[in-house]
Amino acid sequence: MANSRENFIAGKWSPPKSDKRFERENPATGETIGSFPDSGPDDVADAVAAAAEAYPRWRATPAPRRAEILFRAAEMMLARKEELSRDVTIEMGKVLKEARGDVQEAIDMTYFVAGEGRRMFGQVVPSELPEKFAMAVRQPHGIVAAITPWNFPLAIPCWKLMPALIAGNTVVFKPSPYSPLSAFNLVRILEEAGLSPGAVNLVFGEDDAGAALVRDPRVAMVSFTGSLEVGREIAAYCGAAGKRVHLEMGGKNAIIVLDDADVDLAIEGAVWSAFGTSGQRCTAASRMIVHEGVLEGFTQKLVSRAASLRLGDGLDEATEVGPVVNKPALEKIQGYMEIGRKEGAVVAVGGSRAAGNGLERGYFFQPTVFTEVQPRMRIAQEEIFGPVTDVIPFSGLDEAVMINNDVPYGLVASVYTRDVSKAFKAMEQISTGIVYINAGTIGAEVQLPFGGTRGTGNGHREAGTAALDSYSEWKTVYIDYSGRLQKAQIDK
């Protein structure tokens, strides 16, 4: 097959040892876009061995030199932005303007991390003893396993690979089998940018490859973005094995609309946050917590906007909502329609697979709004990961905050209000890792930490300088130049 791709191990592109492969289809059209290795444990072992061999050399490379390679990679991504964006759309379905945003975030993250190559600040503090110097410096973990999802096939890998590399780690990268093409594109760029052989190794595959990577004893850290169920399995194994682990496991995010909100502005944020990327974002707003005083007007406008959204191939600039990623995703979303109805919720718009105008060739689901939703319903608690949102009424700010916080996840929340006092009270009481005021739940910036609480993560953060804390550890150094034994607290 002309579009056959291979693993990248020790600086070379090589087929899987088993010769097993899988094909990836365009979720909008059903057309095959390429063939990729279905790697097994032997391929993973080779990739980890290559990372282990490369580690001493990469770690010894001065951070500013590592940064120069990443900067070149960012420049290449910028030059190829349109090509990379089209491949994102072709393989996972998001509309082209969103794919460009995905690629831009990858570019931004790579530039940002490259800048850290000349910073990566440590700590220098006064010693309590004379003629003694005290400082703390960062050091890498070793081999990092980066396991990434399909919904942001360039941005999320760059969130993981770039800080891991700048800190001096080597990486084995296993992308989702639903977005392998973007992973190939990224690693090819890193290769062209001059990355040391073995510093990044790319292994395509299904669950067996991921499990083998997590369990390899040479892997010092696992960084995973994906489902809560798989994340908990990884956390349990890494805890028992003493591995560092960084998890990002989704969200059940809400937009809170207070009675003094600019409702039209809130609708714009709601439509973008609920239906952008067909709701397939960990930051998607799948709950609208709306004050009863504006409930009717807000709901009518939201339903009207959802009904008017244009579905289609993401390569068509007129398309507003693309397909979901595959048939199992479509079936999962459809299953939640029945769950919601049985719980007593009402489908105000949408609620089924989209057809007509060629949509039946792909995995399109109608933008859907549930009304008459109670906060403890499954549709208001579980991550559906599709173009589906709930409208939940409330009567006071404290109640809204309680509803927002009473879910298994804690990634992002949004509050629409004109009252600065209410805004700050909400910011204090909302227990998510990210809060927006008068904006939707979408739009993270790379210079600030990204991550959440409860089932969303395990306390680590991606992006910003906080990412360095995930991909490095502290080494404290004391230098005593007094020429005599000083006993610290005993000598005080």
- Enzyme catalytic residues: 248, 282
Cα angle vertex 36, ends 224, 51, to 5°? 50
**Using an 8 Å Cβ cutoff, are 221 and 243 in contact?**
yes
Q: Are strands 12-14 and 7-9 parallel, antiparallel or unpaired?
A: antiparallel
**CA atoms of 324 and 488, how far apart (whole Å):** 62
Angular region, 34: left φ>0, alpha ψ -120 to 50, beta rest: left
- Which tokens in the block code for residue 318? 């007129």
The SS3 call for residue 350 is coil
The tally of CA atoms less than 13 A away on the side-chain side of residue 34 is 21
Neighbours of 307 (CB within 10 A): 13
Would you give the DSSP letter of residue 365? B
- H or E segment and range at residue 123: strand 123-125
Direct distance between the N- and C-terminal alpha carbons of the chain, in angstroms, rounded to an integer: 74
Q: How many residues does the chain have?
A: 492
Q: Are strands 253-257 and 170-174 parallel, antiparallel or unpaired?
A: unpaired
- Which tokens in the block code for residue 348? 């105000």
